[in-house]
A and B are shown apart, each in its own frame.
Chain A
Amino acid sequence: MPGRRLEKCCKNISEMDTNKYNSVIKILRRSKPVMTGTDKIEERVLNEIQLPRKKQVEGFTLFDYLFGWVYIGWIRKSLITVSFSLIALFIYQQLLILKRIDMLENQTSAAGGQFVRMNQADPYNIITTDNLARLRLKTGRMAFDKRQLEEMMNSYNEMEHKYKDLIRIIEDDPELKKLLEEKLSENNKKKFNL
């Protein structure tokens, strides 16, 4: 019996709570909140929704901007034609130049000897700014003709021989030796004073 009473009591209490709850909800529904900054919220929501799409559209525009021409037939064909023309022009020009250089080399070998000799006898004419550039001194390389090299070696040997002769002449002549020593010491003094 007491159990039944308790059960009835609890039932009454829950009914009362439910009623309270319902009445609170009713009151809340009736009193709507006052919204401030609705535009901002709307914009934010829209931005969040549209962001992934925008990113996709931007990527497509860049490539489309660069290579859009591939979808226009006449531009595509024109650019391909220009490319082939440039390649053909390059090949043609290089072949022509190679042919002309080849002809020139044959011409050079027929008359090369003369000029080497002329140059050797005339250092002023070899050592010009343009010639130095031609000889590729800047890159540490120098083009030498075999004959030119031989003549240089002969010239060096001749100079060495003359130098020895000169030393011998000086050694054999005490007066000349004395005179030269005096001159040399004078020169040294001048250098020291400077």
Chain B
Amino acid sequence: MKTKSLKLALSFILVMIVSCDEPETVVTDIVHPDGSVTRRIEMKNIENKFETDNIQVPFDSTWIVKDSLEIVDSKDTIWVKRAEKLFRNVDELNQAYVADSGGNRGIPRRAEFNRTFKWFNTEYRFAEIIDKHIENGYPVSDFLNKEELKWFYSPESVIKEKAQGPDSLKYKALDDTVTNKTDMWTFKCLVSEWTAEFLKLTEGKAGNDFTKESLKAREDELVKLLERDEDHLDSLWDNGIILQQFLGEENGKKFRIEADSAASIAANKVFFNFDNYTVRIIMPGKLIGTNGFADSTGILLWPVKSDYFISDSYEMWAESKTPNRWAWVVTGIFLLFVLAGIVFRAVRK
């Protein structure tokens, strides 16, 4: 089996990620009370080149499309493709996700819609969910505190605006802290996934005395080794030094191929190819809850980045309610009727 260093694998994947020709995309889901969803996609690109393979969300010829050439704030001209389609329900939207042949194909995404009748009000819940990409990772909340988590999930423009506005030093420091901590988290996820893959590949092989518990307990040790030798990671991994330090000289040599393969698989899982985009949701009625960013007009926004669903599912949800006027009237009449009955009884007495 061809050996490949961890860093080389990571570099290759990263190069693959940045070299894509994907447009800047904003997806707006307009949720209707009957559960249908009007989806609008706005794609911006410096060229009039919008290949279906590069578009971040499901898109095909059945969409109503409008192209235009626009001038942005920086006086540059950009091509904008706007597409719109009505999905009768979330199942239809989910089918589109399953059949997606775009830039993010293979990433399990789905939408959920719930309508709950609560007599005086009807409540709606709409969610876009992206399932976690690795099974053996750690939640990012184990590494970041509340404020750091908020920063981590903030849209890019909020981060930029805060970093350039008042208290910029404070926000720059916060940004650095979050970057360092998320690097550590990514490392930990990578090691955890490597451990699981390594166990799978070495299972049943002669001289294998590794157990899940023993390797899991030593994950921090491997992370420290990788961190310590970060600058020479390539050569140290290629020469099997890190592996020998971690598994012992004999095991390091014996399971070298399995370790390299596990590293490659883990790296592919953690540093997967995903084109970022932005999701916006417009709910029916009055907005009552969300985990996204909302403005005074009730438009909600979530950035969608690969980091958000490495080890946790990323759920973008919003809840709203519409009053059931008829229920209010029926209740009013009923209360009046009961009150009149009580008054009638008192008069008759």
Chain A residues with a Cβ under 8 A of chain B: 63, 66-67, 69-71, 76, 79-80, 82-83, 86-87, 89-90, 93-94, 97, 100-101, 103-104, 107-108, 111-119, 121-122, 124-125, 128, 130-131, 134-135, 143, 145
Contacts and interface: CB of A to CB of B under 8 A. Distances in A.
Nearest to A79: B338
A71 B334 CA distance: 18
B266 interface: no
Contact of B335 (A86, A125, A128): A86
Interface stretch (B54-62, B91-99, B296-304): B296-304
A120 B320 CA distance: 25
Interface stretch (B114-122, B191-199, B204-212): B114-122
Given A83-B334, A86-B335, A111-B294, A118 B120 contact: no
17 contacts: A63-B344, A83-B339, A90-B120, A90-B331, A97-B121, A97-B321, A100-B288, A108-B295, A111-B158, A113-B161, A114-B158, A114-B161, A115-B294, A117-B161, A125-B299, A128-B30, A128-B40
B28 interface: yes
Contacts of B20: none
A128 B334 CA distance: 40
Closest 5 CB pairs of A and B: A115-B295, A70-B345, A111-B293, A67-B344, A114-B158
A100 B4 CA distance: 52
Given A71-B345, A80-B342, A100-B288, A86 B334 contact: yes
Interface in B27-46: 28, 30, 40, 42
B341 to A, nearest CB: 5
B105 interface: no
B294 A107 contact: yes
Query: Per DSSP, are chain A's interface residues mostly helix, strand or loop, or mixed?
Result: helix
B252 interface: no
Contacts of A69: 341
A104 B289 contact: yes
Given A76-B341, A80-B338, A131-B282, A104 B294 contact: yes
Contacts of B119: 86, 89
A124 B284 CA distance: 19
B118 A93 contact: yes
A87 B335 contact: yes
Given A67-B340, A111-B293, A130 B30 contact: yes
Contacts of B120: 89-90, 93-94
B338 A104 contact: no
Nearest to A116: B295
A115 B301 contact: yes
A117 B296 CA distance: 12
Contacts of B284: 130
Contacts of B335: 83, 86-87
A121 B78 CA distance: 13
Given A104-B290, A124-B82, A131 B344 contact: no
Contacts of B296: 108, 112, 143, 145
Interface in B98-149: 118-121
Contact of B287 (A87, A104, A117, A143): A104
B282 A128 contact: yes
A151 to B, nearest CB: 11
Contacts of B282: 128, 130-131, 134
B78 to A, nearest CB: 12
Contacts of A135: 297
B76 interface: no
Nearest to A117: B157
B240 interface: no
B167 interface: no
Contacts of B118: 93
Contacts of B155: 114
A134 B341 contact: no
Contacts of B26: 122, 125
Which of A80, A82, A130 gathers most chain B CB within 10 Å? A130
Contact of A119 (B293, B299, B331, B338): B299
Contacts of A83: 334-335, 338-339
Given A70-B341, A113-B161, A124-B82, A134 B298 contact: yes
A106 B117 CA distance: 27
A118 B340 contact: no
B280 interface: yes
Interface in B154-199: 154-155, 157-158, 161
